[in-house]
A and B are shown apart, each in its own frame.
Chain A
Amino acid sequence: MSLGMNGYIMKIFKTLLPLCIFIILAIFLWRGLYLDPQRLPSALINKPVPQFSLSTLANAQQSFSQNDLFGHVSLVNVWASWCNSCRDDQPILMDIAQNSHVPIYGFDYKDDRAKALQWLDSYGNPYQKIGFDGEGVVAIDWGVYGTPEIFLVDKNGIIRYKQIGPMTVEIWRDKFLPLIQKLRAS
């Protein structure tokens, strides 16, 4: 029995279908191999920063709240003196603070005040203001689960991006800078 043109096309389609499904699945699974479950996407992207009020690290009388983040595009870095990876991106953060005109704010997470101040003496202080989050309660509001975590906040106090793990030159150049330019323009 000979197949008409339609039947022929149908036959090819049916033969190729399992292969296509396999290829699609393979693409997803292949991509999955490179996803790191330790790096979870932030649930706070495009949401306003949580309200908070902390005393600053250097001066317990001074305070740091979400109001400090309005009016400019800024970075908020969650760090601690006991966090080893936090040393890795200090040079980059210092460079950003001095050369890129993007203010960096910090949360000192579950730390000891004296040790934190000592750490800043040793490794430099790129921060406009540092909130002392000794109990880690504010960090929970920001969805922090591992330091360092660095957030990009826009002029209206909306969180636009979160980087988990130390900042690198590549990440700054490829992920943050384009976003910052876009946010500043709007």
Chain B
Amino acid sequence: MERFVIVFLLIIFCNSYASPTDMYTFQTITQQQQFQGLVQQLRCLVCQNENLADSNATLANDLRKQVYNMVIQGKSNQDIISYLTDRYGQFILFKPRVEPSTYVLWFAPFLLIAIGFLVLIKKIRKQ
């Protein structure tokens, strides 16, 4: 019985899982890391809570190919991200850029906390 348990545990823990990005080969490690970094920070627009690295959607496949081609062409992260946001908008990034159209998104929470804090201080002082 013990042996069975041990073998069972070994089987379920000693696994390697294939990811949709395994099929791409790169000349340099830097390029591979660049690719991995990019597909992990880009959203799959069909399965919107997955990133491009994990999603099996057709569009994700196509966009991975596009990113791959740009990486081996030597394009920078900035170029590749701009290429995609020009076509799909900010939503394709999990982390929206900090720019005038997203200032409210980024800073409003801090602003609200600051206001709350000020009100709190005022109340305490009154006492």
On whether the beta carbons of A141 and B87 are closer than 8 Å, the reply is yes
A142 touches B87 (CB 8 A): yes
Any B CB within 8 A of the CB of A3: no
- CB < 8 Å neighbour of B89 from A43, A137, A140, A141: A43
Grouping DSSP codes into helix (H, G, I), strand (E, B) and loop, the A interface class, with mixed when no group exceeds half, is loop
A145: B residues at CB distance < 8 A: 45-46, 59, 88
Q: Are A40 and B45 in contact (CB under 8 A)?
A: yes
Asked if A7 lies at the interface with its beta carbon under 8 angstroms from chain B, I say no
Q: How far is A141 from B86 in the complex, measured between Cα atoms in Å? A: 9
Decide: B45 and A140 in contact? CB cutoff 8 A: no
> Would you list which residues of chain A between 128 and 160 have a CB under 8 Å from chain B?
135-137, 140-143, 145-146
The answer on a CB contact under 8 Å between A40 and B88 is yes
Interface class of chain B by DSSP: helix
| In contact, B87 and A40 (Cβ under 8 angstroms) | no
**B contacts with A, residue count (CB < 8 A):** 14
| B residues 12-65 in Cβ contact with A at 8 Å | 45-46, 48, 58-59, 62-63
Known: A110-B58, A146-B46. A43 touches B85 (CB 8 A): yes
A140: B residues at CB distance < 8 A: 62-63, 66, 87
Decide yes or no whether B103 CB sits under 8 A from chain A.
Answer: no
In the bound assembly, the distance between CA atoms of A142 and B45 in angstroms comes to: 14
**Interface assignment of A71: CB less than 8 Å from any CB of chain B:** no
Chain B residues numbered 61-114 whose CB sits less than 8 Å from any CB in chain A = 62-63, 66, 85-89, 91
- Tell me whether B91 and A40 are in contact (CB under 8 A): yes
Taking the closest CB of chain A, its distance from the CB of B115, in whole angstroms, is 8
A143 and B48 form a contact (CB under 8 A) = no
Please determine whether A44 and B87 come into contact, CB atoms closer than 8 angstroms: yes
A43-B89, A110-B58 known; 14 new pairs, CB 8 Å cut-off, are A37-B48, A40-B88, A40-B89, A42-B89, A136-B58, A136-B59, A140-B62, A140-B63, A140-B66, A140-B87, A141-B87, A142-B87, A143-B87, A143-B88
Query: A-contacting residues of B (Cβ < 8 Å)?
Result: 45-46, 48, 58-59, 62-63, 66, 85-89, 91
Q: Write 22 A-B pairs (CB below 8 A) sorted by A numbering.
A: A37-B48, A37-B91, A40-B88, A40-B91, A43-B85, A43-B86, A43-B87, A43-B89, A44-B87, A135-B62, A136-B58, A136-B59, A140-B62, A140-B66, A141-B87, A142-B87, A143-B87, A143-B88, A143-B89, A145-B45, A145-B88, A146-B59
In the A-B complex, the 7 residue pairs with the closest CB atoms = A43-B89, A143-B87, A145-B45, A143-B88, A136-B62, A40-B91, A145-B59
